[in-house]
Every structure is written in C-alpha cells, then in structure tokens.
C-alpha cells in the first residue's frame, strides 16, 4: 500500500509540471521528462475536452528546439488531415491503440496502408517517414497514443496540405472523407 501511495504522489507531481502552450500542446519544466500511466491518462483527459480530440506533451524544451519529440494522444474521432513535411522526416512509434497510416500519392490515390499497433501484436509498431510524402492516420481504437520525433524548430510553413482532402472546418465533409478513405484503405489491405 505504501509504494502505491508513493507512486501516486510521484504521478501527481509530474502532472503539475505540465505547462500549456495552447489547449492541445503541453510542455514539461522537468529536467528529465518522463511519462507514466498517470501522464497518459491526463493527456487523454485533455484530448477528450478539446474540439479536435487530441493533445500532446512536447518533451523538447520549446518550439525553437532542433529536435522535437512528442507524446501524442488522439481519440478515434480525431481527424488527421493528410499532410506532408518539407525538409524534415518524422518517426512514429505506437505506445497504445491501433491505427492505419495511409500514405498517398500526390494526387490523393492511396499508395500504401500501414497497420500500426504496439509491439507484440503482429503489426508494425514504428515507421520513419521521409519528407514530402502525403500521409494521414485513421484511428481504429478508442485512443491512439504514440511517440513522434521530427526536426525543429517548429515552422508551420514546413507542412503542406493537399487540396483533395478537407481542411477540417466542415464536420460532415470530414466524416464523408474519412469514411471513403477508410473503405479504400480496407480495399487496399485486402488486395494481395
């Protein structure tokens, strides 16, 4: 019982060190940034209260850092608009949940679908995406928790969005797009 209380106190202390950059993005002031079940639960709580149903803990010191490492939480209903990164790759490691990472040709046709899950489930648990590849995430579990790494500093002009996918402002349009993309991804996976 004593070690459980100690563990809960440690987790609570970690949660108070989160500093909001905005309602979705948090940083830690700890010298050594760590995460445990309590931190992931707090990120889920934050995501559930956000309109876009997502949150992230940036483990790098600030947006100007040269290396960006983030623990990211998305709910199943979160829309990840297809995008590509200019001049920087990204890596993605699943911690909890399942998803399909959809890789697109520049015209919006599906090139590949990566079924993702944590290690030990017989699916891919990690990828490294080169720059200039359109991709999106279709979340197939209630929550997806992943570790993402990319080059900094943060510069929104280094992310490009296609005109063939909705921008996220129209919920019905997004739902239609996600449904169609999910069906096409399933067809792609079923084709030998």
pLDDT at 141 exceeding the cut of 60? yes
Is 100 in contact with 138 (CB distance < 8 Å)?
yes
Q: What is the pLDDT of residues 79-98, one digit of tens each?
A: 999 999 999 999 999 999 99
Q: What is the pLDDT of residues 9-28, one digit of tens each?
A: 444 444 557 889 999 999 99
Token pair 């199943």 in the structure block, residue: 76
Q: What percent of the chain has pLDDT over 70?
A: 92
Is 58 in contact with 21 (CB distance < 8 Å)?
yes
Beta bridge mates, 93 = 126, 147
- When divided into structural domains, the chain yields a total of 1
Parent domain of 69: 2-190
Q: Is 127 helix (H, G, I), strand (E, B) or coil?
A: strand
As a dihedral over the C-alpha atoms of residue 161, residue 163, residue 169, residue 174, rounded to 10 degrees, the angle is -100
pLDDT at 143 exceeding the cut of 90? yes
pLDDT at 7 exceeding the cut of 50? no
Structure-block tokens of residue 83:
């995008």
Domain with 120 in it: what CATH number? Answer: 2.60.120.10
- Band of residue 186 on the pLDDT scale cut at 50, 70, 90: very high
Flag whether the pTM goes above 0.85.
yes
Beta bridge mates, 149 = 69, 91
């Amino acid at each position: 019982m004593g070690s459980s209380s100690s563990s809960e106190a440690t987790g609570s202390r970690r949660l108070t060190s989160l500093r909001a950059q905005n309602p979705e993005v948090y940083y830690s002031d700890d010298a050594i940034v760590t995460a445990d079940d309590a931190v992931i639960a707090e990120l889920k709580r934050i995501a559930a209260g956000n309109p876009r149903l997502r949150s992230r803990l940036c483990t790098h010191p600030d947006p100007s850092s040269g290396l960006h490492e983030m623990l990211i939480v998305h709910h199943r209903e979160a829309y990840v608009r297809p995008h590509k990164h200019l001049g920087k790759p990204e890596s993605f490691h699943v911690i909890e949940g399942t998803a399909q990472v959809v890789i697109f040709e520049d015209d919006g046709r599906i090139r590949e679908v990566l079924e993702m899950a944590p290690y030990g489930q017989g699916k891919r648990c990690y990828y490294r995406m080169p720059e200039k590849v359109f991709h999106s995430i279709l979340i197939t579990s209630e929550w997806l928790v992943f570790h993402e790494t990319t080059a900094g500093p943060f510069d929104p002009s280094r992310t490009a969005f296609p005109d063939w996918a909705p921008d996220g402002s129209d919920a019905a349009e997004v739902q239609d797009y996600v449904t169609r993309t999910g069906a096409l991804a399933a067809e792609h996976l079923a084709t030998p």
